[in-house]
């Protein structure tokens, strides 16, 4: 109920007997005015429908908002429901007690440090440069002229300009290694 207390600004209306619920994936799954007294139900472990809440309130901002709706847990009022309705509800009183809280303390571990030897020397590694193997040939791009471009078809012109630009790149990259 901590999130519900925050959503409702710490209002006194949020009690231990309150269940807050919001729409699962759309806000229209919320309750609205006139829904008070309606059930909040689940399919229980035994496969039976079990009422876990009674619709009580919605946010003052209205229905179908991102604010949760408030339901009252019927277990808190089981005896009264049975007395008023005469129905023996599917509800068992738990007679178990909470186990004692065991406190565990952890001590900080001993801290050890290792110092670097002061007599050690450090040397820089030799610099190496790799040259790519020269198993290919490099062809310089032909100089283009207006007359040769107009004589070529548009397909060969685009293919020649594409290969000339890649040749030019290859040429300039191989020149940087020489």
pLDDT, tens only, 94-153: 444 455 555 555 565 565 665 655 666 667 767 776 666 666 666 666 676 554 444 444
| pLDDT value at residue 150 | 45
Q: Give Cβ neighbours of residue 81 (< 8 Å, ≥ 6 apart).
A: 74, 87, 89
| 12 or 116, which is more confident | 12
CB 54 within 8 A of CB 39: yes
| pLDDT value at residue 82 | 82
Domains within the chain, CATH numbers bracketed? 2-85 (2.40.10.10), 146-177 (no CATH)
Calculate the average pLDDT of the chain.
Answer: 69
Q: Is the pLDDT of residue 44 over 60?
A: yes
Place of tokens 């007997």: 17
CA distances from 4 to 10, 16, 35, 67 (A): 8, 11, 19, 8
Q: Is the pLDDT of residue 89 over 80?
A: no
Report the pLDDT averaged over residues 82-95.
Answer: 69
Query: What is the pLDDT confidence band of residue 161, given thresholds at 50, 70 and 90?
Result: very low
Longest dimension (CA), the chain: 107
| pLDDT value at residue 111 | 59
| pLDDT value at residue 163 | 43
């Amino acid at each position: 109920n901590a999130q519900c207390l925050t959503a409702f600004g710490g209002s006194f209306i949020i009690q231990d007997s309150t269940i807050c619920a919001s729409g699962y994936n759309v806000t229209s799954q919320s309750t609205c005015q006139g829904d008070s007294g309606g059930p909040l139900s689940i399919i229980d472990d035994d496969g039976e429908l079990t009422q876990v809440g009674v619709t009580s309130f919605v946010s003052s901002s209205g229905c179908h908002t991102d604010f949760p709706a408030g339901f009252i847990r019927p277990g808190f009022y089981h005896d009264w429901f049975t007395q008023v309705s005469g129905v023996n509800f599917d509800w068992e009183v738990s007679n178990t007690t909470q186990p004692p809280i065991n406190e565990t303390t952890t001590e900080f571990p001993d801290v050890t440090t290792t110092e670097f030897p002061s007599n050690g020397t450090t040397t820089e590694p030799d610099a190496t440069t790799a040259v790519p193997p020269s198993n290919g040939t490099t062809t310089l791009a032909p100089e283009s002229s207006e007359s040769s471009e107009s004589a070529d078809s548009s397909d060969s012109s685009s293919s020649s300009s594409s290969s000339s630009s890649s040749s030019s790149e290859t040429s300039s990259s191989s020149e940087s290694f020489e």
